[in-house]
Structure 1
Amino acid sequence: MGKVVANAIMSLDGYVAKQDNSIGRLFDWLQNGEVAIPTPAGDFTVHLNPASAQHWRNWVSSVGALICGRTLFDVTQGWQGRHSMDVPVVVVTHRVPQDWIEAHPDAPFTFVTDGVEAAVAAAQELAGDRVVAVTGGTIAQQCLDLGLLDEVAIDLVPVVMGEGNRPFFGRLSSPDVLLGNPTACVQGDRVTHLVFPVR
């Protein structure tokens, strides 16, 4: 089975979204380079500097499934049934959105109502030997608490939000979680890509 990796684009003060769930300047680096790369779903094109472009290609080609929570699913309106990464999506929720499923019958989305562990198992089944990407926020925090993460991948953006709604990791059950030394540190343009193993 592939690794389970929590991944997020994060501000210097640890946020992945503002109070209103908007992203502010966090995604600016996706459009500030000379290398054009369409997303796998073809819904938009990123423009990255060469270092970020290589990192992006490696990451995108490794992902086999994505896990998100219901809040992100609702904010994005379920990506209209096809995520930009063009991989199956597992949504952790208390309530399955039947109307959405009926409106998107071919969407590769799985809704899991019995917790994060079940969601990770479902995503690993879908991903095979490829990476299961866990979005930052509540789901990443629960996975870290339960010992389900192999790595933490951060696209660190030099912006300070001051106050946000969504930290990459919320309140953990243990006071400190020590990660290993970074296995990747790639300097892009207005972003640093970091990967940490979970001990």
Structure 2
Amino acid sequence: MGQLVAIMSMSVDGYVADPDDGVAEVFDWYFGSGDVEIHTGGSDPMTFRVSEASAEHIRGLASGLGAVLTGRRTFEVAQGWGGNHAWGPAFVLTHHVPAGWPRPDSTVHFVTDGLESAVAQAKAAAGEKSVGVHGADTIQQCLNAGLLDEISVDVAAVLLGSGVRLFDHLVGTPSILGNPTVSHGVGVTHLRYPVRTA
């Protein structure tokens, strides 16, 4: 079975969104940092325009993913990805299924019986591929439960000053990560850290 990989874009000072859940500043590098086009697919397709180094990073990461695990807040901000996430079926950890969901022909699934169940369902759907984990709270829960295998963080060249932190509410710290792989894009640095198990 594949790994559980946290995937987030973050400001230099550690924020993944501003106080109003806005993510424009930490995601700007996806849409104007280079001339290489990447088409995301899914129900709500986007076209990224990034540097060659960032394109290589995105392709390498995305090609290894078979499913996505995320929280309700990220689902809401992303407007449900139009019903089909570009990286495979999406499993949304939530206390209750939102009105109007599930939808026909959608690959978005709602898990109301806890983190372990959500991880198991996402891993089963991903098969031999990895599961990408979105959302600060879901990533924190996975870290605290010792379930994450890797942290992939894209550090955007911006300081937000306040907002939603990626690494708040951690237990068992300090937690020593493995040596990162590093690639430098335009306006962003891509870091991939293996998570050491205790």
Distance in 2 (CA, whole Å) between partners of 1:100 and 1:189 is 38
Counterpart in the other structure of 1:71: 73
- 1:99 corresponds to which residue? 100
In the alignment, what sits opposite 2:60?
58
Match of 1:25 in 2: 25
Gaps of 5+ in 2: none
Code of the aligned partner of 1:13: D
The one-letter code matched in structure 1 to 2:9 is: I
Runs of 4+ in 1 over 6 A off after TM superposition: none
Whether contact under 8 Å (2:74, 2:135) holds in the other structure is: no
Instruction: Name 1:14's counterpart in structure 2.
Output: 14
Alignment partner, residue 186 of structure 2: 189
Deviation string 1:176-199 (CA, Å, 9 cap, x unpaired) is 2111111x2000000011000101
Match runs of 1:137-148 below 5 Å: 137-148=136-147
Counterpart residue number, 1:157: 156
Letter in 2 for 1:190: G
Per the alignment, do residues 172 and 86 of structure 1 end up closer, same or farther by CA in structure 2, a change over 3 Å counting?
A: closer
Conservation of the 8 A alpha-carbon contact between 1:136 and 1:169: no
1:98 Cα deviation after fit:
4.5
| Post-superposition offset of 1:86 | 4.1
Superposition deviation, residue 28 in structure 1: 1.4
Alignment partner, residue 125 of structure 2:
126
User: Could you tell me how far apart the structure 1 residues matched to 2:195 and 2:50 are?
Assistant: 28
What is the TM-score normalised by the length of structure 1? 0.93
Aligned to 2:38: 37
State the number of aligned residues.
194
Deviation, structure 1 residue 139: 0.6
Residue 24 of structure 1, CA deviation: 3.5
Q: 1:152 deviation in Å?
A: 0.4
TM-score (norm 2): 0.94
Q: Secondary structure at the match of 2:24?
A: coil
SS in 1 for 2:60: helix
Task: Give, as a single letter, the amino acid of the residue that structure 1 aligns with 2:178.
Answer: G
| Identity percentage of aligned residues | 45
Residues 10 and 166 of structure 2 are in contact (CA less than 8 Å); yes or no, is this contact kept in structure 1? yes
Q: CA deviation at 1:121?
A: 0.5
Contact 1:37 1:46 (C-alpha < 8 Å) held by counterparts: yes
Contact persistence 2:73–2:135 (CA under 8 A) = no
Measured against aligned partners, the alpha-carbon deviations of 1:28-76 in whole angstroms (never above 9, x if no partner) come to: 1112211111113271211111111111111111110001101111122
For structure 1, list consecutive stretches of 5 or more residues without a partner in the other structure: none
- What is the aligned partner in structure 2 of residue 109 from structure 1? 108
Q: What is the CA distance between 1:130 and its match in structure 2?
A: 0.5
Using the alignment, how far apart are the partners of 1:134 and 1:60 within structure 2?
Answer: 12
Q: Determine if contact 2:183/2:191 at 8 Å carries over to the other structure.
A: yes
Instruction: Give the match for residue 82 of structure 1.
Output: 84
Per-residue Cα deviation, 1:117-159 (whole angstroms, up to 9, x for no partner): 1111000000001110111311100100111000000001111
